[in-house]
Chains A and B, each alone.
Chain A
Amino acid sequence: MADASPTASTAATGTPLLSARGLGRRFGGLAAVDDVSIDLAVGQIHAVIGTNGAGKSTLVNMLSGELAPSAGSVHFAGHDVTRWPQPRRARAGLGRSYQRTTLFPEFSLAENCRLAAQAGAPRPWRFWERASADRAGLATALRVLAEAGLAADAERVAGTLSHGGKRQLEIAMCLATAPQALLLDEPLAGMGAEETGRMLALLTTLKATHAILLVEHDMDAVFKVADRVTVMVNGQVIASDVPERIRTDRAVQIAYLGDEAPTLAAGAAALLPEGAGPALGRPGGRPR
């Protein structure tokens, strides 16, 4: 269970909740992920960025348990979960959202969340008990919907939500299982400015009580909320540090902007106001 006490936020300096060492995955002759190590701690948002094909999704799949690694190990909440299948990791407190919205479109929002919560207390043999009478589950469902800002739509059929609403529901469903760690795969994909703002506010709230891994392409968002940024290129980690240092890291700049990068960066910095730096991934940079 997530610990909401003040000491949780200082756990960032203690033992990481989720820790991967030397993770690697080969497909035939191709190494999609090569010797990647990463830590997640409660109170932190750890962002993973990288160009397309960098291996981010493969990494997340290995952390969640959907893909078995060719090498390396994953430890979660004190257990070696490397061989654990996804459902077992989920029950231990590792939640995951998907890049492509993965919901139950035919069910109501409340049922989506109630069913997700049922995983924690399945009791499948009591076939005479109605699922609709699952008070505890429904209460959990309404609570997480409120957290995600969807309480008003509890009875709506999930398929009728806007894209942004569906992404919010996805997060709510993750929360329904009371996870300690969240693996979020591009939660902002396809969202407009307002929806992005709401989602980022939600993530910042959640960060206090959860360990969050955030895979994203939206650099503005990443640099707004991340406490730590890991950069992947061609399946390998080329840098892992606090956002300010990542921004000016030469290797990262080369990866995103090519060999001209340091010159470009210096030139851009000369043109921009004091204290500004190029935002990675956006040609020409933007003032902060």
Chain B
Amino acid sequence: MRSDGIVTAPLNDTRAEVGELPDIGRREAGGWAVPTAAVLVLALLPLVLSPYAQDVVVRIAIYAVFALSLELLVGATGLVSLGHAAFLGIGAYAAVMGSGESGASLFFLVPIALAIAAAYALCVGLLSLRTRGVYFIMVTLAFAQMAYFVFHDTKVGGGSDGIFLYVKPVMQIAGTTVLDLANRAHFYYAVLVVLAATYAFIALLLGSRFGHALAGIRVNEQRMRAAGFSTTPYKLAAFVIAGALAGLAGLLLAVKDGGVNPELLSWHTSGEVLLMIILGGIGSLRGAVIGAIAFTLLKEACQSEALLGPLASHWQLTLGLVIIGFVAALPRGLIGLVERVRQVGAPRG
């Protein structure tokens, strides 16, 4: 483990595929088979799950999109942002405000949510990327807090109560409603498609020249600059793409919850999404998804009276202690655990 905590290939692994990266972007176990299988399973779940359980799956899937967007920033590029919730919230507010009183088309809302989140990401990125390390963490937190105050205090949003989403968005082609997000099944599959598309897009991005450049910046920015890369535009691009994708997750969340409130931009949300990716394992797209699942379930468990009885009302304490134990003991997250088990199992040639 390097001192900056970035997952590295174990050094007894002396061969690496020429042209491939040893960690993120690399072909993880099973290649595309595992994610494809997962998508198929998810697609079939509504046949067996209750509506309540489907809701839980949808919520986790939306957080997985959110976590994947942050993974691009933290895991791939090495930029630790503590203000990612701002883009989630902006996407959500854009969706709700864009829907007005009579609803709107997805053809309008999706680009709007992406564009406004990307625009704020561009402004924040230009300023934050003038700093590094701890400063960067603090500045991203501060700009998220600024957005929080705009929505919480001013009349831009509905103040601390948030705004209600009156009509859920639809997609109409040639007059017929093809997709109505108020329909539970439509919404489920829409979220699934977004999750799969986000995963595929980021995976593609990471295997490209751009993605390899991001990896180089993460591992050794000085060498990248010495070779002739202007690293700031790359970092900014990653920041904006991550922000836009978070905005998309925000739109979905607003539709799911039937509204938006400023707490979505709180730094607790930013902290939680960071926890998701470290829980799952930094440096792995699957880790981001697994982390979203694990964290949501963990939080539910800590708040569950059935499980913990009277301790449930003090769930922050349990959650806090579990997180401390986890981060301290398993810095490479759940994916790291899986890797270790695989290494123990498979003989080294």
Task: Tell whether A118 is near chain B: CB-to-CB under 8 Å.
Answer: yes
Query: In angstroms, how far is the closest chain B Cβ from the Cβ of A82?
Result: 18
Cα separation A4 to B230 with both chains bound (whole Å) = 29
Establish whether residues A132 and B19, one from each chain, have CB atoms under 8 Å apart when the complex forms: yes
Within 8 Å by CB of A103, from B15, B205, B220, B230, lies B220
Complex CA gap A98/B204 in Å reads 33
User: Which B residues are in CB contact (< 8 Å) with A122?
Assistant: 209, 213, 229
Q: How far is the CA of A172 from the CA of B217 in the complex (A)?
A: 19
Chain A residues within an 8 Å CB radius of B219:
104-107
Please, which residues of chain A bring their CB within 8 A of the CB of B211?
Answer: 127, 131
A17 to chain B minimum Cβ distance, whole angstroms, is 17
Binds B, one of A149-157, A191-199, A258-266: A149-157
The answer to the question of B41 belonging to the interface, with a C-beta cut-off of 8 Å to chain A, is: no
Question: Does B228 lie at the interface of the complex (its beta carbon under 8 Å from any beta carbon of A)?
Answer: yes
B21 on interface, CB distance cutoff 8 Å: yes
Q: Which residue of B lies closest to A123 (CB)?
A: B209
Query: Are A106 and B228 in touch, CB under 8 angstroms?
Result: no
Residues of B within 8 Å of A123, CB to CB, are: 209
Contact with A along B197-208 (1 / 0, CB 8 A): 000000011011
Segment of A87-95, A209-217, A236-244 in the binding face: A87-95
Q: Is A176 in contact with B9, judged by CB distance below 8 angstroms?
A: no
Interface size on A, residues (CB 8 A): 50
Contact check, B210 vs A119: say whether CB atoms are below 8 A apart.
no
Shortest distance from the beta carbon of B218 to any chain A beta carbon, whole Å: 9
Measured CA separation A138–B209 after assembly (Å): 12
Within 8 A of A (CB), among B2-38: 8-9, 11, 13-23
A137 CB to nearest B CB, Å: 8
Tell me whether B237 and A124 are in contact (CB under 8 A): yes
Residues of A within 8 A of B228 (CB): 87-88, 90-91, 119-120, 177
Complex alpha-carbon distance, A98 and B225, angstroms: 12
Bound-complex Cα distance A227 to B62 (A): 65
B131 cross-chain contacts in A, Cβ below 8 A: none
Which B residues are CB-close (under 8 A) to A96?
226
Interchain nearest-CB distance for A162 vs B (Å):
13
**A64 contacts chain B at the CB level, 8 A cutoff:** yes
Q: Does A125 contact B (CB under 8 A)?
A: yes
A108 vs chain B, min Cβ distance (A): 4
Give the segment of A26-34, A109-117, A247-255, A277-285 that binds chain B.
A109-117
In the complex the two chains form, what is the Cα distance from A120 to B209 in whole Å? 12
Question: Is the Cβ of A64 less than 8 Å from the Cβ of B226?
Answer: yes
* CB of A160 within 8 Å of the partner chain: yes
The residue from B21, B213, B225, B226 contacting A124, defined by CB atoms under 8 A apart: B213
- In Å, the complex CA distance between A187 and B220 comes to 19
A108 cross-chain contacts in B, Cβ below 8 A: 15-20, 22
Contacts of A174 in B (CB 8 A): 226
When the two chains form their complex, are residues A118 and B223 in contact, meaning their CB atoms are under 8 A apart?
Answer: no
Interface contacts beyond A103-B223, A108-B19, A130-B19: sample of 15 additional A-B pairs, CB < 8 Å, sorted by A: A91-B228, A105-B219, A107-B215, A108-B18, A111-B19, A111-B21, A114-B19, A116-B223, A118-B229, A131-B209, A132-B20, A157-B9, A157-B16, A159-B8, A173-B223
List 10 A-B residue pairs with CB atoms under 8 Å apart, sorted by A's residue number.
A90-B225, A98-B222, A106-B22, A108-B22, A118-B229, A131-B207, A131-B209, A133-B19, A155-B17, A157-B9
